[in-house]
A and B are shown apart, each in its own frame.
Chain A
Amino acid sequence: MKRVLACFVVLAAFPLVMQAMDNLFYVSLASRMLIYAIAATSLNLALGYGGMVSFGHAAFFGAGAYTVAILATEGISNLWLAWPAAVVVAAVAALMIGAVSLRTRGVYFIMITLAFAQMVYYIFVSLKEYGGEDGLPLPGRSSGLPLSLADDVTWYYLVLALFAATLYGLYRLSRSRFGRVIEAIRENEVRAEAIGFPVYRYKLACFVLSGAAAGLAGALIANQASYVSPSLLHWIQSGTLMIMVILGGVGTLWGGALGAIALLALEHLISDYQIDWLERLAPNYQDHAGLAVGVVLLAIVLAAPQGLAGMLSGKRRA
C-alpha cells in the first residue's frame, strides 16, 4: 500500500518538476504512457484475469477513439457526452464480438477475435467522410470542465486521475465475487461449469467490461493528439497491447501499466536519445528500436513469463 502511494506521489509531482525545467514535452509523453497503461490494463482484465486471449482488443480501443473524433467533427465535443458515448460504443462492440467469439475455443477464439477486429478496421477505413486511411484530426481537446484541457499539465492530471480510477476498479473487481468466479473459470472452466456457474455469461461480462475500459482509453488517446488514425484499430495495435500485458505481467494488477510504460519508455529512449558509443558501434541503431523490443519480448516469453510485475514482487501467478 505504501509503495502504491509513493508511486502516485511521484506521478503527481512529475509535471510540476517538468514545468520547472521548462520541458513540457515530457508531460505530454507521460500522459500518452498513462493512456496506454489504461488500455493495457483493460486487456489484462480479459486476458490475464479472464484467460481470454483476445487478439482484437484494438477494435474497442479504436472504436472509443473514433467515437470521440466523429462526435467532435460533428460539433459535439463535450466530454460528458462524448466520453460515455465512447465507452458505450466500445462496450456494445465488445458485446457483439464477444457473444459470437466466446462460443469458440482456443486458437479459433484468437483467430475470430482477430477477424472481427480487422472487420472493424476496414469499416472505419472506408469512412471517407471521417478521414479514411488518413485519419481524422479533432478540432481540439474535449470541453466540459471548468479548466481547459488544452493545457498539457491539466490534461496530465485528468489522465492520471482516470488511470488511478481504472486501477482501483480492477483492484476491487478482482477481489469481488465476480472476480473470483472469473479466476475460477480461467483456472478450470469445466469445473466452474460443473459447480453451476453460467460460465459463458461471466466470460462475456468480463469481455464487455474489458472492452468498455478500452473504449475509455480510446477516448483519451483521441484527445491526447487531437487526432485519430485507423492504425489504432489495426491488429498490430492489438499485438502491441498484448506485448505490454505480458511484459508487465499477465493477470497482475499493475501488469498492464508497467508493461505499457516500460515498452513506450524503451522505444522512446532508443529512438530519441543517441548514445554516442553505441552509435559508433552500430550506426543508425536508433532507427531500429523494434529490434530491442523484439528481443526483450522474446526474452520475457522464454525466460520470465511472469513479466516485470512478477520480477518485482517475486510472486508467481497462482
Chain B
Amino acid sequence: MKRMAVVAAAASFSVAALVSFGAHAADELKVGFLSTLSGPAGGIGIEIRDGFNLALKLNGGKLGGMKADVIYADDTLNPQTGRQLAERMLKRDRVDLMTGIVFSNVMLAVWPTLEQAKTFYIAPNATPTAITGKGCSPYFFSASWPNEAHHEAAGEFASSKGYKNAFLIAPNYPAGKDALTGFKRTYKGTVAAEVYSKLNQLDYSAEIAQMRASHANAVYAFLPGGMGINFIKQFVAAGLSKDMQLIVPGFVSDQDVVRAVGEPMLGLFDTSQWAYDLDNDANRKFVSAFEKEYQRIPTLYAEQGYTAALIIDQAVRDAKGKVHDAKAFRAALMKAPERAKTPRGQWKEAANGTPIQDYYVRALVKDREGRIVNRKIGTILKDHKDYWAKDCSMQ
C-alpha cells in the first residue's frame, strides 16, 4: 500500500519531466533574467527588473520585433544558487540570452557556465574586471559600466575638492576590491585606511569607531543596497557626518536608500553614469514613464535595466533575430549603443565589452516639490574608458 505512494511519486516526477519540454516557438525570444530579488540587496534587482520591464512594456512586450518571453529567477545573492539557476535556464529552459545579475560574486560564479553554453550575456549591472580584462569574451556585453568607473570618478572628484585624507570602506568581494582599486587610481590625497567589511554586514559600529579614530576628512564608502542604508544611518547617528564628508558611488545613495534613510542623507555627493535630470528626450521619456508606472523616482539601477532592454531590442533587430550567430549578434551589439536612444545620451562600447561614457557628480538635495533627489552638479569624467581594456586581446 505504501509502496504505491512511492511508485506514484516516481511516476508523477517522470510525467512532470515529460511535460516540461522547453518548447520553443520560432519567433519568440527567451531571455533569462537572473537577479537578486530578495533580501537586503533585493531592492537593487527589483529596480533593474522594473526598468527592464518598463522598456519591454513601452515596446509592446517585444524585443527586436520578436515576442519576448522573460524568465525571472532570484539568486538571493548566493553564488551557488545563481549558478544552479543559470544552469536550469540554459539547459532546461533553453534561453537565448541572459541578463539581470546584480552582484559581481554571483556574476563570476555564473560566468563559466554562460561562456560554455555560448549564450550572450548583457550586463545591466555587475561588470567585473576579471571578465573585461584578460578574461574578456565576445559573449559578454555590459550595458552599465565597468566596475571601477564610478570609483575612479569619485577619486577624481575627491581630489578636485581638496579632501586630503580619505577613509575607504567596501565589502570584501570582487566588486568591493575593484571599487577601492579604482578610487585609489585617481585619488591624489592620502588614504587614511582601507577597510573591507563583510558582504551584507549590517552593523558598522566597529568600522565607524575606526573612522572616528582616523581623523580623516572624507569617507569614501562603496556599500550598495541594504548595507548602504544601515551604514549611512549609523554614520549620521554616530555624529561623524559633521566632521567628515561622505562621498559615495551612485549605488549607495540613490532613491532606494533615500526612501529608507531620508533627510540625514542631504549634503552627500555621489558619482553616476546617469542622472534623472539629464537633458535629452530619451531620458525625459524614461523618467516620466517610470514615475507614471511605478509611482516613484527611478534610480540609476532602473536606468541600467531599461537601457539593457533597449540595447537588446536594437541588437536583435539589427541582427535580424540571429542571437545564436556569434559574429553577427556581437557586431550588432557593439553598434547598438550608438543606434538606440538610451536615457544616457550618446555613448559607445569598447572592444572589451564595456561602455565608454561620461560620469557625473550628483548631490543630494531637495527639489522644488520637496522630494530628496540626486541632482547633477557636474561632469567629472568624459568619454571614460575601462582601465582594464588594455589587457583584453579582442580588438
B170 CB, min distance to chain A CBs, angstroms: 14
| B2 proximity list for chain A (CB < 8 A) | 311-312, 314
Q: Does A301 contact B (CB under 8 A)?
A: no
Q: Does B3 contact A (CB under 8 A)?
A: yes
| B173 proximity list for chain A (CB < 8 A) | 133-134
Q: Does A151 contact B (CB under 8 A)?
A: no
Instruction: From A23, A26, A137, give the contact of B112 (CB < 8 A).
Output: A137
Judge whether A137 and B91 touch: CB under 8 Å. Answer: no
Judge whether B88 and A25 touch: CB under 8 Å. Answer: yes
Judge whether A24 and B105 touch: CB under 8 Å. Answer: no
Judge whether A308 and B20 touch: CB under 8 Å. Answer: no
Judge whether B79 and A21 touch: CB under 8 Å. Answer: no
List which B107-128 residues lie within 8 A (CB) of chain A: 108-109, 112
List which A224-257 residues lie within 8 A (CB) of chain B: 225-227, 229, 231
Contact string against B for A residues 207-233, beta-carbon threshold 8 Å, 1 for contact and 0 otherwise? 000000000000000000111010100
Nearest residue (CB) in B for A311 is: B2
Q: Does A135 contact B (CB under 8 A)?
A: yes
A202 CB, min distance to chain B CBs, angstroms: 34
Judge whether B17 and A23 touch: CB under 8 Å. Answer: yes
| B174 proximity list for chain A (CB < 8 A) | 134
Which of B5, B21, B84, B109 has its CB near the most chain A CB atoms (within 10 A)? Answer: B109
Instruction: From A225, A262, A265, A312, give the contact of B3 (CB < 8 A).
Output: A312
Judge whether A227 and B83 touch: CB under 8 Å. Answer: yes
B137 CB, min distance to chain A CBs, angstroms: 15
List which B174-217 residues lie within 8 A (CB) of chain A: 174, 198-199
Instruction: From A24, A28, A229, A308, give the contact of B80 (CB < 8 A).
Output: A229
Judge whether B16 and A269 touch: CB under 8 Å. Answer: yes
Nearest residue (CB) in B for A310 is: B2
| A24 proximity list for chain B (CB < 8 A) | 91
Q: Does A277 contact B (CB under 8 A)?
A: no
Nearest residue (CB) in B for A274 is: B20
B308 CB, min distance to chain A CBs, angstroms: 24
Judge whether A135 and B19 touch: CB under 8 Å. Answer: no
The CA-CA distance from A28 to B88 in the complex, in Å, is: 10
List which B3-42 residues lie within 8 A (CB) of chain A: 3, 5-6, 9, 12-13, 16-21
Judge whether B105 and A133 touch: CB under 8 Å. Answer: yes
A191 CB, min distance to chain B CBs, angstroms: 34
Instruction: Count A-B pairs with CB separation below 8 Å.
Output: 68
Q: Does B172 contact A (CB under 8 A)?
A: yes
Size of chain A's interface in residues, with CB distance under 8 A?
28
A6 CB, min distance to chain B CBs, angstroms: 11
Q: Does B78 contact A (CB under 8 A)?
A: yes
| B9 proximity list for chain A (CB < 8 A) | 262, 265
| A227 proximity list for chain B (CB < 8 A) | 79-80, 83, 109
Q: Does B92 contact A (CB under 8 A)?
A: yes
Nearest residue (CB) in A for B90 is: A25
| B74 proximity list for chain A (CB < 8 A) | 287
List which B47-84 residues lie within 8 A (CB) of chain A: 74, 78-80, 83-84
Instruction: From A28, A135, A231, A287, give the contact of B91 (CB < 8 A).
Output: A28
Indicate whether A135 sits within 8 Å of B112 (C-beta atoms), given known contacts A273-B16, A308-B6: no
Q: A21-B21, A311-B2, A312-B3 are in contact. List 15 more A-B contacts (CB 8 A).
A: A21-B17, A24-B91, A25-B87, A128-B172, A134-B79, A134-B174, A135-B79, A137-B112, A225-B80, A225-B87, A231-B80, A265-B9, A265-B13, A308-B6, A312-B2
28 CB contacts below 8 A, A to B, read A21-B21, A23-B17, A23-B21, A23-B92, A24-B91, A26-B17, A128-B172, A132-B172, A133-B199, A134-B108, A134-B173, A135-B80, A137-B108, A137-B112, A225-B83, A225-B87, A227-B79, A227-B83, A227-B109, A229-B78, A229-B79, A231-B80, A265-B9, A272-B20, A273-B19, A311-B2, A311-B5, A312-B3
